[in-house]
Structure 1
Amino acid sequence: METFSSIECFVRSAEVGSFAEAARRLSLTPAAVGKSVAKLEARLGVRLFQRSTRRLTLTEAGQLFLGEVSGSLHTIQNAVANLASAGGQPAGTLKVSMGTVFGCLYIVPMLAEFLRRFPAINPDWHFDNRQVDLIGQGFDAAIGGGFELPPGVVARKLSPAHRVLVASTDYLAARAPIIEPEDLKLHDGILIRSPQTGRVRSWQLTHRNQQHSPLTLKARMTMSDSEAACITASQGLGVALVSMPFASGYLELGRLQRVLPDWYIDDGYTSIYYAEHKLLPGKTRAFVDFIIEQFAERGLKQRFSAV
């Protein structure tokens, strides 16, 4: 068991490049983690890390050993967690990342039903519009769109990630009509900055019949959040380009209306992401299956589609 603990200390330290950060995630002291790894090195007769004051670097032997043991470690940990589940039911802390407003609007309202089914699971939910390092930061799952898929992570599609143009009735009544995409040149744009890059992306509009046209809307102002852009557009301040999950509520209440309703931007899919394991922890499997079920039952796939 001591060797297993040492291997866990080694793998966590290799993942984050620091005894101190590994210790924080394992609820140990940095000295204890360093001592445990040193014992493992002595037992194996090889040095696994090159140590410096700034960072740990794997030796060639360390890289080989990590490749051999990391997958098996995760499988064993997941097997132990599943067997230790309360009464055979999924249990444990469920660490999930999701966008702030999206999570509050659509995922948090599912929480009561989730906990009714799985009372032994303790949610640890993080709200952030940036992509997280799912494995390195110890997340069980993440929900979002437009993320790069790193090695060891899989994605299950939940809904289209469509963006649409919206404006208030007052704004549209007071300005030049928008009949074709090129008419957007004459209007004030409310555009979204990418939370990953801080830049305003260049977009291509897609017609229902699959024609394409560049988005010529010029930025009058920029926001870092679609909900903020919807609030701004509802004040009659311009045409906003926003994600459908945020626009849908305003459209249903009549606070905003679609501009060029036959056109939209296809930004891929909103998905649920989780680490790929031969034996997925019961809590993670329960959450993934539950979210997919709820998106279907609540009609969110259709609601988030612009076509």
Structure 2
Amino acid sequence: MESMTSIECFVRSAEAGSFSEAARRLGLTSAAVGKNVARLEASLGVRLFQRSTRSLTLTEAGERFLAEVSGGLAVIQSAVANLASADGQPAGSLKISMGTGFGRTYIVPLLRDFLTRYPAITPDWHFDNRRVDMIAEGFDAAIGGGFELPPGVVARTLSPGHGVLVAAPDYFEHHSQLKSPAELPQHDGIFIRSPQTGRIRPWSLRNQTNEQAPAAMRVRMTMSDPDAACEAAQSGLGIALVSMPNALRYLESGLLKRVLPAWYVDMGTLSLYFPAQKLLPAKTRAFVDYVVEHFRTQNLAKRFSAF
């Protein structure tokens, strides 16, 4: 029977496309990963990779073997991790990705109670507004919106992903009143650039009767962070288009107010992403269940809705 180490080295090398990157993720040397894969190939009697100085690609046999073992490897590793948990409780490093402002506002405040329940879990939380490759980067879960589901990942919807227009409470004391989206081009807009493309996405506004209109404000400035956009709007510098989770605390505190409150942007959903495994690691299951329960008790799905 092939060793788990050799099979894991093969799977991680296939995912990463190189022995050196697989070694970094596994905490091994590149030579050790290469030797483990070579040992596996010798035992199976087939070549799994085509190697060159610049690339590492799967052979046809390697592609078949990867499809057959990768899911089973994850299940076995989860079973071992769950069995090794402290006194049968969820344990281990919990690597989570989430947006900076969202994570600091809604997830970090949960830490004390979460760790009281699960003291053997060690949070390794990454705050970034980009979309991560969960499988390749080794994340246990991620919270965000607009992710394309790759093979091996499932999503649990937490709330609608609505975007709204916001401005300082006294904004219209110095600017013309807005009666419809058609008047937006007369106003300065504060936009958030896409972390993937660096560009401003051309969002469309809609209302409850499903009428649509472009969010066609003048581009006064662009930001990479929604909190920065809200703070710029709070200073009276223009109208910001931000998601409800980012705008909510400013709206509830009165620092910002909705502009054209009958209109919103449909940004998809806010979801919790995690590996599609029959046997999910206990630490990941504990986090998923805890966040879902928090959204329910705090009525966040309703509060994150534009209506």
Q: Give me the TM-score of the superposition, normalised by structure 2.
A: 0.97
Match of 2:152 in 1: 152
Q: Distance in 2 between matches of 1:293 and 1:64?
A: 40
Match of 1:27 in 2: 27
Query: 8 Å contact 2:205–2:265 — kept in the other structure?
Result: yes
Q: Distance in 1 between matches of 2:8 and 2:256?
A: 53
Give matches, 1:76-225, under 5 Å. Answer: 76-225=76-225
Identity of aligned residues (%): 66
Give matches, 1:9-20, under 5 Å. Answer: 9-20=9-20
Offset at residue 244 of structure 1 (A) = 1.0
Match of 1:258 in 2: 258
Offset at residue 2 of structure 1 (A) = 5.9
Q: Which runs of 4+ in 1 moved over 6 A?
A: none
Residues 215-274 of structure 1, C-alpha deviations (whole Å, 9 max, x = no match): 222211111121111111111111111111121111122211111111111111110001
Offset at residue 298 of structure 1 (A) = 1.7
Offset at residue 303 of structure 1 (A) = 1.7
Q: Distance in 2 between matches of 1:260 and 1:153?
A: 37
How many residue pairs are counted as aligned between the two chains? 307
Q: Distance in 1 between matches of 2:249 and 2:67?
A: 48
Offset at residue 25 of structure 1 (A) = 1.7
Give matches, 1:261-300, under 5 Å. Answer: 261-300=261-300
Provide the aligned C-alpha RMSD in A.
1.2
Equivalent residue letter for 1:182: A
Residues 123-174 of structure 1, C-alpha deviations (whole Å, 9 max, x = no match): 1111111111101111100000111111111000111111111111322111
Q: Distance in 1 between matches of 2:184 and 2:26?
A: 54
Offset at residue 45 of structure 1 (A) = 0.9
Equivalent residue letter for 2:285: R
Give matches, 1:228-239, under 5 Å. Answer: 228-239=228-239
Offset at residue 208 of structure 1 (A) = 2.7
Q: Distance in 1 between matches of 2:2 and 2:49?
A: 19
Equivalent residue letter for 1:203: W
Matched, 1:45 2:20: no
- For the residue of structure 1 that corresponds to 2:135, the secondary structure is coil
Q: Distance in 1 between matches of 2:241 and 2:48?
A: 51
- For the residue of structure 2 that corresponds to 1:306, the secondary structure is coil
Offset at residue 214 of structure 1 (A) = 2.1
Match of 1:247 in 2: 247
Offset at residue 24 of structure 1 (A) = 1.7
Query: 8 Å contact 2:2–2:40 — kept in the other structure?
Result: no
- For the residue of structure 2 that corresponds to 1:106, the secondary structure is helix
Offset at residue 8 of structure 1 (A) = 1.1
Where does the alignment leave 5 or more consecutive residues of structure 1 unmatched?
Answer: none
More deviation, 207-216/247-256? 207-216
Q: Distance in 2 between matches of 1:293 and 1:73?
A: 30
Equivalent residue letter for 1:118: Y
Equivalent residue letter for 2:113: E
Q: Distance in 2 between matches of 1:240 and 1:5?
A: 51
Q: Distance in 2 between matches of 1:217 and 1:3?
A: 60
Q: Distance in 2 between matches of 1:80 and 1:124?
A: 20
Q: Distance in 2 between matches of 1:174 and 1:68?
A: 65
Q: Give me the TM-score of the superposition, normalised by structure 1.
A: 0.97
- For the residue of structure 2 that corresponds to 1:135, the secondary structure is helix
Q: Distance in 1 between matches of 2:3 and 2:147?
A: 37
Match of 1:3 in 2: 3
